């Protein structure tokens, strides 16, 4: 799968691509044997992403030019629900969970925008421009606001990651690089929406039913 920065600016609209419902996303969780705590994490990430997309729609921002506001919010929510689809398999067998999950999502939905959001949810390799890349940026940011199943600040999330995974110079460098991007992304999205996201009271009750 080619996913360098040169490919980021012209994602096909995928008129035939599916926007799966919450129930369909949950069914795929089960198909790919997602661990329960990853299901709950995914539900929280989707809660934040849905709230941000709803704020954007209310502010008149274009989330997906070919979709109405309601469908665009559904698109963002589905990407967030599916962002860790490949994680359980990779915990058990190794591999890159973002790449594997993106391949599975593309196979299931035929929708490259959903697959892009899954592929780049750990680190965005292009410009932090929400006008061009709203969906993957929001999914990436939302993931950085959930520690396990708890909504926390970006700094709390990365402090935990550093303590658990920062065992080598290379891993610490990677965590700090991703941390810096998450802080910049929070600032960029806050300016774009006119909402200070670090202060926003995300509704942690907005979970996927039955997750």
pLDDT digits over 119-175, tens only?
Answer: 999 999 999 999 999 999 999 999 999 999 999 999 999 999 999 999 999 999 999
The per-residue pLDDT for range 180-203, each reduced to its tens digit, is 999 999 999 999 999 999 999 886
pLDDT at 2: 43
Q: How confident is the model at residue 59 (pLDDT cuts 50, 70, 90)?
A: very high
Domain 19-193: give its CATH code: 1.10.3210
Question: Residue with structure tokens 């980021």?
Answer: 8
Residue with tokens 């991703």: 178
Instruction: Tell me how far apart the alpha carbons of residues 156 and 193 are, in angstroms, rounded to a whole number.
Output: 23
What's the pLDDT score for residue 161?
93
Instruction: Tell me the pLDDT of the chain averaged across its residues.
Output: 90
Q: Are 54 and 73 in contact (CB under 8 A)?
A: yes
194 with 11: CB under 8 angstroms?
no
Angle in degrees, CA 5, 105, 115, rounded to 5: 20
């Amino acid at each position: 799968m080619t996913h360098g920065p040169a490919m980021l600016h012209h994602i096909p609209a995928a008129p035939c691509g599916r926007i799966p419902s919450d129930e369909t996303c949950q069914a795929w969780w089960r198909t790919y044997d997602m661990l329960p705590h990853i299901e709950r994490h995914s539900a929280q990430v989707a809660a934040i992403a849905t709230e941000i997309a709803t704020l954007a729609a209310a502010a008149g921002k274009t989330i997906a030019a070919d979709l109405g506001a309601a469908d665009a919010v559904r698109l963002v929510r589905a990407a967030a629900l599916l962002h860790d689809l490949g994680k359980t398999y990779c915990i058990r067998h190794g591999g890159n969970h973002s790449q594997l999950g993106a391949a599975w999502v593309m196979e299931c939905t035929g929708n490259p925008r959903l697959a892009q959001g899954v592929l780049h949810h750990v680190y965005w390799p292009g410009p932090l421009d929400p006008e061009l890349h709203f969906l993957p940026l929001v999914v990436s940011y939302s993931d950085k606001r959930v520690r396990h199943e708890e909504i926390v600040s970006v700094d709390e999330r990365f402090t935990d990651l550093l303590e658990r995974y920062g065992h080598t110079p290379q891993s610490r460098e990677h965590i700090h690089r991703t941390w810096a991007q998450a802080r910049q992304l929070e600032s960029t999205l806050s300016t774009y929406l006119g909402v200070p996201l670090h202060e926003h009271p995300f509704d942690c009750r907005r979970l996927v039913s039955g997750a």
